[in-house]
Amino acid sequence: MGNPSMTKYKVVLVPFPFDDLSSNKVRPALCLTEPLGKYRHIVLAFITSKIPSELQETDLLIMSDSDDFESSGLRVSSTLRLHRMMTASTTLIRRELGELSEAQQEAVKDKLKKLFSLG
């Protein structure tokens, strides 16, 4: 796709690799950066429709019954797993689904600070 409108906090569909790198699956992911460099790379975080029984400190629930769910473009309640990231060229993005609300964006910032011990 490589669309220049891809920006931080957008929810997109992208091929995300399995942990063992044996294959990948097209799934939702959150853009954590603006496109950078000649090849317009972005950092993406994994989104899954599975709600774990035990959340990690860096997980963020995106629940279908919340007021700001619709703007995410997701179909069902999901978990944003900020400890599962990848870097990819914007050309790999299949399409844009939506965007996180300002409140969710602030929650992401707080969780990233914890993940990287920034404050």
Decide if pLDDT at 4 tops 80. no
Record the pTM.
Answer: 0.92
- What is the rounded CA–CA span in Å between residue 113 and residue 102? 17
pLDDT band at 6 (very low <50, low <70, confident <90, very high): low
The backbone region for 3, taken as left when phi is positive above 0, alpha when psi lies in -120 to 50, beta otherwise, is: beta
The tens digit of pLDDT for each residue in 29-41 reads 999 999 999 999 9
Query: Which structure tokens are listed for 88?
Result: 């990819």
Tell me whether residue 4 is in a domain.
no
Tell me whether residue 35 is in a domain.
yes
Tell me whether residue 33 is in a domain.
yes
Domain that holds residue 99: 10-115
Tell me whether residue 111 is in a domain.
yes
Report the number of distinct structural domains present in the chain. 1
User: 72-92 in b/e burial notation, b at 16+ Cβ within 10 A?
Assistant: bbbeeebbbbbebbbebebeb
Q: Given this model, what pLDDT does residue 26 score?
A: 97
The tens digit of pLDDT for each residue in 21-76 reads 899 999 999 999 999 999 999 999 999 999 999 999 999 999 999 999 999 999 99
User: What CATH number does the domain containing 18 carry?
Assistant: 2.30.30.110
Tell me whether residue 1 is in a domain.
no
